[in-house]
Amino acid sequence: MTGETRREERTKREITAAHVFPVLLTVAVAWVYTLIVVSSQIYLPPPALTPIEEPPSTTPQEGLTNPAPYLNMMIFIGYVAVGGVIVYVLTSRFPKSIKYLAAALFGLSGFATLYLYGFMLMDLFHVNVVQSIDQLLLAVSLLMAGLLVLMLWSKRGVLRVISASIVGAGAGVYLGASMPLWTTLVIIVGISLYDIVAVYKGPLGRLAQLDLITLRGLVVDFMDVFLGLGDIVFYSMLIAFSYWHLTLLAGLAATAGILVGFGITLLAVKKGGPAPGLPASLIIGLGLALLTTLL
């Protein structure tokens, strides 16, 4: 089947309200994780992807005129860009091997997510984490991570979406609750712009021309629409950021913006070809969240 034929089929594909299900589930799972983080009050260290310490600031002028958020943003997006190139090269040259690599990375992420939030739940319910309990948590997390990998390769699209949401939302909420305020805000804007470039001029657009089924673990497919795991991560990051750094109302506004933005993205997909999944959802969601601070 030629590229033109595939593009024709995508143009004719009908987009329905059911296609919103992956993002609906993602935001629901993200809220569960966010409430766990907020309730547990466990300190989450910032990820290694944002190594520059952001000095304390009390006003937007102080925060946004400091170079730290922008340096962190460049480092963060640099890692994302290099990762995208590597995935494209491996997928184009080793299409069979990338399937197992993607599954392995997904399983590892699932294990880390389940263990982290399991630990926070035990702290929330005042469970003493003795050695035997910790070993049990490790074993359960490992078994459930294996189950998530199996679900990811299920023939049922709903199971694939559930699996991807559990892992992606967990990672996104961790980022949104652990990174400094201004760094996170700048990254949300920066990654939205990068997504446009990567889809239309970079490796993500080229990946869309390959067999994306082999990339399950990095993407999730539902009713012939592919959603990157990174999209799930950043949607969840915005929700956690809005609630953690702003207010509950801001988190709810961000959620509404994500859903509206994804609806706009689906309209772009309906016209044929790939469309960036982040810009509309993140910019609208962030804009609505920030507007609530003026109320």
Q: Is the pTM of this model over 0.85?
A: yes
Residue 186, domain member (yes or no): yes
Residue 277: predicted pLDDT: 93
Residue 13: predicted pLDDT: 60
- Residues whose CB is less than 8 angstroms from the CB of residue 156 and which lie 6 or more positions away in sequence, other chains included: none
Residue 138: predicted pLDDT: 93
Task: Give, for 28, the enclosing helix (H) or strand (E).
Answer: helix 21-40
In DSSP terms, 216 is beta-bridged to 219
Residue 283, domain member (yes or no): yes
Residue 109, domain member (yes or no): yes
Residue 31, domain member (yes or no): yes
Q: How far is residue 275's CA from residue 212's CA, in Å, rounded to a whole number?
A: 15
Residue 184, domain member (yes or no): yes
Q: Scanning the structure block, which residue is given the tokens 């199971």?
A: 159
Residue 124: predicted pLDDT: 87
Residue 216, domain member (yes or no): yes
Range in 3-12, 92-101, 102-111 the model is least confident about: 3-12
CB 187 within 8 A of CB 179: yes
Q: Given pLDDT bands bounded at 50, 70 and 90, which one contains residue 212?
A: confident
Residue 56, domain member (yes or no): no
Q: How many domains does the chain have?
A: 1
Task: Please report how many Cα atoms fall inside a 13 Å half-sphere around the Cα of residue 28, on the Cβ side.
Answer: 9
Over residues 43-66, the pLDDT tens digits come to 889 999 999 999 888 788 888 899
Mean pLDDT, the chain, rounded, equals 89
Q: Is the pLDDT of residue 230 over 90?
A: yes
CA 111, distance to chain mean position in Å, is 16
Residue 124, domain member (yes or no): yes
Phi and psi dihedrals of 222, rounded to 5?
-145, 115
> Domain range for residue 254?
19-42+67-292
